[in-house]
Structure 1
Amino acid sequence: MRVRTVRTDDGARLHVDITGDPDGAVTVVFAHGWTLRAQSWTPVLRSLRSLAHDEDVGGTRFVRYDQRGHGQSTWGNTSPVTVDRLGEDLYAVLEAVAPTGPVVLAGMSMGGMTVMALAAAHPSYIQERVTGVVLVSTAAGGLADRHPRRGRFAHLARNLPAPLLAVGQRYPGGIDRARRLLPPKYRIHQRQLQRVGFGPAAPASAVRACAEMIHATPARTIVDLYPALLAYDNRSQLIALAGAQVAVVVGRNDVLTPVRHSRELADSIPSATLHVEPDTGHMLMMERPHVVAAPIRKMVYGTVKT
């Protein structure tokens, strides 16, 4: 594995992991979700490992990076951070580590929004360089909209009290110390996460790994990005993705970005297909990584044939 640090124009340092064939003909770039990190894509990478040195495709490079404020990446000087800013971060990563050749983009949840923000700001890049896009458990907007079928947790997340947000923003260190009282090793922690993020039969190892990533994410990251995700609305600019092959993938039991958001994406992008995976939740790429890997693999092979 090769490690790079990409510096953005506002001073953030983004931690980037590069694996696979360093001279691969195709580059696959992964953008992770809110409160996660680059390693959340590890199960999907395992499903794609045969592509790394596949002579039929000329080899494949895999690029993962920690979004700002997550993992080993820093914040930079932008405040408040918006999803559009995250799109520019992704563009900086692409320019630094994949300056030439075809690209396949995969984004999960906030990472999917990041990909859509990139497309809206740099449509020519999508047309000239991006051959495929996989959007996993995500939405182009409307996360704050009222909807009668949303669950109790989703209702709470949508209406998180402003005073609670203010406390988190003013005293992030205190919130982090309080969170240490309930580490991921406790079953109650994992049970609650499974109810929110996974399907009923999710592997315990996947739930534990996800819990550890979320627990390691600073409170500042959680509370500062929360309003940006609720405010994000890119639904009028999805045509920017029309030039690429697009696969929209979602878990049937996803309560954070319910299936209706994925249907809206698929209906709005002429080149999009939709797959709804039964008995799975928001963390689909950790729960059933082969389901997410399948369209990525298809796009890599399709890139070589075009």
Structure 2
Amino acid sequence: MRVRTVSTDDGARLHADITGDPDGAVTVVLAHGWTLRAQSWTPVLRALRPLAHDAEVGGTRFVRYDQRCHGQSTWGTDPVTVARLGEDLFQVLRALAPTGPVVLAGMSMGGMTIMSLAGSHPEIFGDLVTGVVLVSTAAGGLAERHPRRGPIAHFVRNVPAPLVAVGQRYPRGVDRARRIFSLRHKPMLRRFERVGFGPEPAPQVVRATAAMIEATPFRTIVEFYPVLLRHDMRTQLNALARVPVSVVVGRNDQLTPVRHSREIAEAIPSATLHVEPDTGHMLLMERPHVVAAPIRKMVHATA
């Protein structure tokens, strides 16, 4: 594995790693979801390992990176927006995959990042980018149709500024206080499991996912959440129609329900939709082979 840092035009430093065949003919670039990190793609990369030295495709490189403010990546000077995330991905491509073909895959916020990239840089789709896989994501409408409509969801949607202010002024104190409600505690872990997964997830998968979320700073959580709720690319998906698109979602997804994936697939003539039974929003970790399958198919189609 080779570790790289991509410096953005607003000063953020994006941590990335490159695995597979360094001289591979095809590059797969992976964008993770909110509160996660590049590491969340590890199970999928294991499933895709044979592609690295597959002579039929000329070998494959895999690039995964921590989105800004997640994992080992830093904040920049620009405000957090999905458009900014799309520009970050463009700069990652320019630095680490400047020549095609490239297959992009994004989970949840990572899918939104790809959609934003398609809106701001349509010229690279069909040229540099030859295929897209969107996992457990939405093109918009999360604020109007958000499934968690209780007082907590209302509070987080409508009082972000005070939360951000507290998180910025007392970041260490707030993150220490979060340990009281740690996802490692059995009642919290069970609640998280019900919201994020299907009916029978592997316990080790739930614990590993919870650990990634717990490691995400409070400031990142509260600043990104309202941004994702405001995300709306439903009328700007035209560039994605230039390439094959695979949309994959868990039947039990409570955070970006199936209707959002169906809406994306219906808006893109080139898209196919796969709904995986007995899985939730964390499909990436629950059934990595289901996510790996369309990526593998697109790599072979590109070669």
Query: Which TM-score band (shorter chain)?
Result: over 0.9
Which residue in 1 is equivalent to 2:6? 6
1:153-198 CA deviation, whole Å, 9 max, x = no partner? 3555652356753332012123212112243432223211111110
- For residues 163 and 243 of structure 1, the distance between their equivalents in structure 2, rounded to whole angstroms, comes to 38
Which residue in 1 is equivalent to 2:165? 170
- For residues 150 and 276 of structure 2, the distance between their equivalents in structure 1, rounded to whole angstroms, comes to 23
User: How much has 1:18 moved relative to structure 2?
Assistant: 0.5
User: How much has 1:120 moved relative to structure 2?
Assistant: 0.6
- Tell me how large the CA RMSD over aligned residues is: 1.4
Which deviates more, 135-144 or 154-163? Answer: 154-163
Unaligned stretches of 5+ in structure 2? none
2:36 aligned with 1:36: yes
Contact 1:144 1:231 in 2 (8 A): yes
- For residues 162 and 245 of structure 1, the distance between their equivalents in structure 2, rounded to whole angstroms, comes to 34
Contact 2:248 2:261 in 1 (8 A): yes
- For residues 93 and 125 of structure 2, the distance between their equivalents in structure 1, rounded to whole angstroms, comes to 12
Letter in 1 for 2:75: W
1:95-125 CA deviation, whole Å, 9 max, x = no partner? 0001112000000000000000001100011
- For residues 106 and 281 of structure 1, the distance between their equivalents in structure 2, rounded to whole angstroms, comes to 18
Which residue in 1 is equivalent to 2:73? 73
Runs of 4+ in 1 over 4 A off after TM superposition: 154-158, 161-164
SS in 2 for 1:236: coil
SS in 2 for 1:234: coil
Contact 2:139 2:264 in 1 (8 A): yes
Unaligned stretches of 5+ in structure 1? none
1:176-234 CA deviation, whole Å, 9 max, x = no partner? 12112243432223211111110011111110011000000001101111111011100
1:129-174 CA deviation, whole Å, 9 max, x = no partner? 1111000000000001147xx3xx3555652356753332012123
Structure-2 change in CA distance of 1:29 and 1:181 (3 Å): same
TM-score norm. by structure 2 comes to 0.95
Which residue in 1 is equivalent to 2:270? 271
Letter in 2 for 1:205: Q
Which deviates more, 193-202 or 5-14? Answer: 193-202
Q: Percent identity?
A: 69
Letter in 2 for 1:50: P
User: How much has 1:278 moved relative to structure 2?
Assistant: 0.5
